[in-house]
Amino acid sequence: MTPLLTTTGLKKVFGGLTAVDAVDFAVMPGEIRAVIGPNGAGKTTFVSLICGRLPPSSGEIRFDGRDITGLPAHRRVRLGIAYTFQITSVFANLSVYDNVALAVQRTAADRRWTGSLRDGVMSALSRTGLAGRAQERAGALAYGHQRLLEVAMGLALRPRLLILDEPTQGLSDGEIESFTDLVREIAQDATVLLIEHNMPVVMALAHRITVLDAGKVLAEGSPEEIRANAAVQAAYLGATAA
């Protein structure tokens, strides 16, 4: 099977700091891949390079066999890459419904959408448990619900690759359980790239895990292999892996 996404020698330098250091990476279609690592490991910078929010200093990014290294973010969205931010980026003064409607309209404009606007919006809201809050102002939602709204906005784009950056931050235990069920459902139709500090979520969801440390790939493997990796335990997991 051909990878959906690959990076080769991907590097990002900010002044004298190398945030992402020659990363080779490949994700297969339908995979749930987690990227973990300590704070400052380069995780968010890495996915920002993939989605086009940042240009790389060097290296190559390919999506479905196509070189997208130089494409701007909006062109990557049209190809099917959706990204939810580590910090919420909803339109606070618009309703929950209207936030998702904007994403559906963008998809419709790219001619990848069939069906009514309302059906598309309510489907995304229902999948994230927000259908009952459709008319609430987005800025009035609790932080965890704003995170779920971002996921709904991403789903409305009908992505082939959905990048989730710290999606469980601010969610209750019950919401986290529902979220893990949602990610498994999403993975039936799309590939998921998950940046997450909640290790029980990572271990429960990921088919494979990539560990970044100081911008480099420290280890890669199944949850069982990562849990047993002594270098990963020393760098990141610590007592969590025990």
Parse the chain into domains and list their residue ranges: 1-80+161-174+191-242, 87-159
Q: What is the pTM of this model?
A: 0.86
**pLDDT band, residue 11 (cuts 50/70/90):** very high
**pLDDT digits over 69-104, tens only?**
999 998 998 899 998 864 457 899 999 999 999 887
How many CA atoms are closer than 13 Å to the CA of 65, on its beta-carbon side? 2
At residue 26, the pLDDT reads 98
Specify whether the CB–CB gap between 25 and 60 falls below 8 A: no
Arithmetic mean of pLDDT, 152-165: 90
In CATH, what number does 1-80+161-174+191-242 get?
A: 3.40.50.300
Checking if the pLDDT of 114 tops 80, the result is no
At residue 239, the pLDDT reads 42
Tell me the percentage of the chain whose pLDDT exceeds 90. Answer: 64
In one-letter notation, the amino acid at residue 56 is P
More confident residue, 236 or 162: 162
How far apart, in Å, do the first and last CA atoms of the chain sit? 34
Q: Which strand (E) or helix (H) includes residue 24?
A: strand 17-27
Tell me the percentage of the chain whose pLDDT exceeds 70. Answer: 92
The rounded mean pLDDT for the chain is 89
At residue 83, the pLDDT reads 87
At residue 116, the pLDDT reads 79
At residue 15, the pLDDT reads 92
Number of Cβ within a 10 Å radius of residue 10: 24
Specify whether the CB–CB gap between 86 and 170 falls below 8 A: no
Q: How far apart are CA 191 and CA 214, in angstroms?
A: 26
At residue 108, the pLDDT reads 59
Checking if the pLDDT of 111 tops 60, the result is no
Specify whether the CB–CB gap between 25 and 7 falls below 8 A: yes
Checking if the pLDDT of 177 tops 80, the result is yes
Checking if the pLDDT of 240 tops 60, the result is no
**pLDDT digits over 190-239, tens only?**
999 999 989 999 999 999 999 999 999 999 999 999 999 998 888 776 54
Q: How far apart are CA 56 and CA 67, in angstroms?
A: 13
Checking if the pLDDT of 134 tops 60, the result is yes
Arithmetic mean of pLDDT, 141-146: 88
Q: What is the 3-state secondary structure (H, E, C) of 144-212?
A: HHHHHHHHHHHHHCCCCEEEEECCCCCCCHHHHHHHHHHHHHHCCCCEEEEECCCHHHHHHHCCEEEEE
* Listed range (46-50, 93-97, 165-169) with the worst mean pLDDT: 165-169
More confident residue, 22 or 154: 22
Arithmetic mean of pLDDT, 18-40: 95
Q: Which residues contact 213 (CB under 8 A, 6 or more apart)?
A: 37, 38, 41, 235, 236
